[in-house]
Amino acid sequence: MTNNQNSNEPVDWIPEAFNDAAQNIAKDAVRQLIESEKKVIGLGSGPMAAAIIQEMRNLPNKEIIECVPSSTEIKLEAQRAKLKIVDEIRIPEIEVVFDGADQIDSNYNMIKGGGGALLREKVLHSATKRLVITAESLKYVEIFNRSVPIEILPFSQHLVQKELESQEGSPELRVLKEGYPYVTENGNFILDTTFPSSSFSSLSDIQKKEVELKSIPGVLEVGLFTRRADVYYKAMYNGSFDIIKF
C-alpha cells in the first residue's frame, strides 16, 4: 500500500474517515492494557495518542495512573482529561507506551517525528516494558516512501545538511507557515530528509542508516524506529480495526 500524502508534510491529523476507528481502538487498547493496579503510562504524540487520552478520561481508577507525556500538546490533552502527570524521574518505571506512527513498513519498522517529538518519543520507547502503536491503514506501507525527520542542534545545521547530501539524502529544514524554522521543545531544528528507497529495503539497511545518521556531529535523534512494538492497531476507513501482536 502506498501513502499518497506529501512526503514532506508533517503528519498531525486523523482523516475524518478514521475518526470512528480511532475511538474504537482507544476503547479496546485502554480496556486491554490498563487494569486495576497502579501503572506508569508513557504518552506519545499525535492524534491517535490523543484519542487514547480521551478514552482514559472515563476510567474509574484514573487517579492511580501516572502519565509521562512526550510533548506539551499531549500534556495539555492529559490535563484536560484530569489525568495525573508525572515528570521524567518516572520514565524508567514506564509499563506501557501508547503512540502513533507516520509510516510503518512491512517489517513493522516505523518513521516517526512528523509532530516534532521524535527525541522524547524514542526515550519513552526505549524505557517501556510494553509498546502499543496505533495508526491509520494508509500509513502501513511496503517500503518507506516519505521523509525521515532528523532532530539537529541548530549550530550544526549547515554541516549536517552537507553530510546528509553526501549520504544521498535531500534535507529540508522544517519551517512554520510564517517561514521561521520549526523549533522542537528541546530547542532544536528538524531536517525532513528523503533518501532513496534502497536505503530501506531491509531491517539491516534501516539499522545501518540509523547508525550512520546518528554518527553525524550535531544529529541528536533520527525518526527511524526499529524497536518492534508489542501491539499494532491498524485503523480502517469503515470504523473497524485490525490488531497485530508480537
What's the predicted TM-score (pTM) here? 0.89
159 phi, psi to nearest 5 deg: -65, -45
Q: How many Å apart are CA 18 and CA 237, to the nearest integer?
A: 5
Residue 228, Cβ neighbours under 10 Å: how many?
14
The three-point CA angle 21-246-16 to 5° equals: 15
Q: Check: CATH 3.40.50.620 for 16-141+226-245? A: no
Instruction: Give domain limits for the chain.
Output: 16-141+226-245, 148-223
Annotated catalytic residue 121 = yes
Q: How many Å apart are CA 242 and CA 17, to the nearest integer?
A: 16
pLDDT tens for the chain, 246 residues: list them: 333 333 333 344 455 667 788 888 988 988 877 765 668 999 998 777 888 898 998 888 888 899 999 999 999 999 999 999 999 999 999 999 999 999 999 999 999 999 999 999 999 999 999 999 999 999 999 999 999 999 999 999 999 999 999 999 999 999 999 999 999 999 999 999 999 999 999 999 999 999 999 999 999 999 999 999 999 999 998 889 999 998
In this structure, what C-alpha cell is assigned to residue 24? 474504537
H/E run at residue 28: helix 19-33
Q: Residue 136's beta-bridge partner residues?
A: 235
- From 73, 77, 121, 151, the catalytic residue: 121
151: CB partners within 8 A, 6+ apart: 113, 118, 119, 184, 186, 188, 189, 190, 219, 220, 221, 222, 223
- Architecture per CATH, domain 148-223, reads as 2-Layer Sandwich (3.30)
